[in-house]
Structure 1
């Protein structure tokens, strides 16, 4: 039986609800849809009232699309519901693809145990395919991780804008998110470093991921808007930076190993003290 409510954020006109509803029903999950705010229904001048363009440009060097603003507002409505209801939730977007462990492990986690370690746990990453996951885990290890049902939850070395295709959020996390995002939207919904720094939220990640964005098979209206506003990156720059990434990889795994060794030493010392 699932411990958490599962809420799926979806545009009423998306045409994607039937697919994910069938998956949820097949696994016996109690779920619901929340109608996402539709940017196409903004009235003239409404976007100017809902959005702080100067703040967004200062952080990202570009404006946010109307779809990105609507996406943020949609999740903020959901956070309010979670905060008022006092029960944590797993939040999914309607293009989410789910591994079996999502149903057999994640949905049966202890809410109290999870709430003691994080406000938000990211269950997947935007624009990452299953075939590329091993490389992502290698280059982005967790500094320190706890094991719950054989799955690791921990803090990454670097948090970044990594999507909101699937995440768990506690009522306390929802209250923190609401408190620091009042007023016009001034950042991306999935700017997790911003939520951490501005909202004092503890945001961790799951490894391995169990939620995947269906970007290879499902067309994203939001992504189309985003790509038109985002500056084009230079491919050769990625190639030149690869040696730096390898060096960073070695450093991160070295630090992670040192932290793990220190933790084991502390635990061993406590056990010896009790034995005496």
Structure 2
């Protein structure tokens, strides 16, 4: 039996829900909508206290604060990680702008095997680097499982196990980045960046984003902010490179 599928969606997003319902019902796949946290309408949500804007400013500079919609998105995924741990079962998390590809059912049929091998499996293509090849690890069904050197922008769809959900919950005791960037920081929390070839879903860019919006009009980054941002990026790049090098060395020595 495949892991339970949860679709994160705002209660008011009727068009998106109809889009997801049509796709999943046509495949005869059971699923459940999970009410997303509307950050703008719930600015005092208890989970938002985890967000440290002061530290984010130190890392990313002024005017880089997370939007309430981004906090709401983070809270929605966070609550599903909690549910994954409480139920002690792997789950598939989809956002309501996911386009299910023909390979989706093949992934669902093999999801139990994926969950027994990996704590987090990205079901979407990598959007961090165009045509990022990835390092082949093994074959499961029709998929080549790959370790990626950079993460997956967006959190359109992924499989997660209770153990990994708890790791991400622990790592997210303090929020500094959007949820997808937090999940992408594999070189910090040590949840490897694992994806599929071919991917089994993609994001529908035709839907208007409830999360991202334009920067404040007329904002110009100061030299100090630029230095802060570049320094933080340099540290991350060095840690990422070190982690990826260590992975490749272990792989060559042990073959896994």
User: Structure 2-normalised TM-score?
Assistant: 0.76
Residue 189 of structure 2: aligned partner: 199
1:142-161 aligned at under 5 Å gives the runs: 142-159=134-151
Deviation of 1:262 after TM superposition, in Å, equals: 6.0
CA contact (8 A) 2:126 2:153 kept: yes
**Match 2:156 to one of 155, 165, 185:** 165
Provide the rounded CA distance (Å) in 1 between the counterparts of 2:33 and 2:72.
Answer: 16
Match of 2:236 in 1: none
Structure 1 equivalent of residue 130 of structure 2 = 136
Q: Given that residues 122 and 166 in structure 1 are in contact (C-alpha distance below 8 angstroms), is that contact kept between their aligned partners in structure 2? A: yes
Q: 1:117, CA displacement in angstroms?
A: 3.3
Aligned pair partner of 1:91 in 90, 93, 97: 93
- Equivalences, count: 226
Deviations 1:128-184 (A, max 9, x none): 9xxxxxx933xx11123211112111211223x5110011111111111111112x4
Q: Does 1:219 align with 2:208?
A: yes
- Hey, what's the Cα distance between the residues in 2 that align with 1:127 and 1:218? 17
> SS at 1:136's partner residue?
coil
SS at match of 1:187: coil
Deviation sequence 1:177-205 (CA, Å, 0-9, x none): 111112x4222100156542332322311
- Between the aligned partners of 1:92 and 1:45, the Cα distance in structure 2 is 22
- SS of aligned partner of 1:68: helix
**Aligned residues of 1:47 and 1:66 also touching (Cα < 8 A):** no
The residue aligned with 2:224 is none
Q: 1:158 to 1:90 in 2, by over 3 A?
A: same
SS in 1 for 2:83: helix
Q: 1:166 to 1:60 in 2, by over 3 A?
A: farther
Higher gyration radius (CA) = 1
Report the Cα distance in structure 1 between the residues aligned to 2:6 and 2:48, rounded to whole angstroms. 29
- Most deviating of 11-20 and 40-49: 40-49
Cα 1:43–1:122 change in 2 (3 A) is closer
Q: Rate the CA distance shift 1:58–1:208 in 2: closer, same or farther, 3 A.
A: farther
Instruction: For residues 100-151 of structure 1, give each alpha carbon's deviation from its aligned partner in whole angstroms, at most 9, with x where no partner exists.
Output: 1101x1001152x3234321111114769xxxxxx933xx111232111121
Shift, 1:73, TM fit = 0.8
Mapped contact 1:67–1:222 kept (Cα < 8 A): yes
Cα deviation for residue 60 of structure 1 reads 3.8
- In the other structure, the counterpart of 1:29 is 29
User: Is 1:74 equivalent to 2:104 in the alignment?
Assistant: no
The DSSP-based 3-state class of the residue aligned with 1:228 is coil
Instruction: Note if contact 2:149-2:193 (Cα within 8 Å) is conserved in structure 1.
Output: no
With over 3 angstroms needed to count, the CA separation of the structure-2 counterparts of 1:208 and 1:194, relative to structure 1, is: closer
**Structure 2 partner of 1:228:** 215
Partner of 1:3: 2
Distance verdict in 2 for CA 1:194–1:214, change over 3 Å: closer
SS of 1:206's equivalent in the other structure is strand
| Structure 1 spans left out of the alignment, 5+ residues | 129-134, 233-254, 268-276
In structure 2, do the counterparts of structure 1 residues 155 and 57 end up closer, same or farther at CA, with 3 Å as the change threshold?
farther
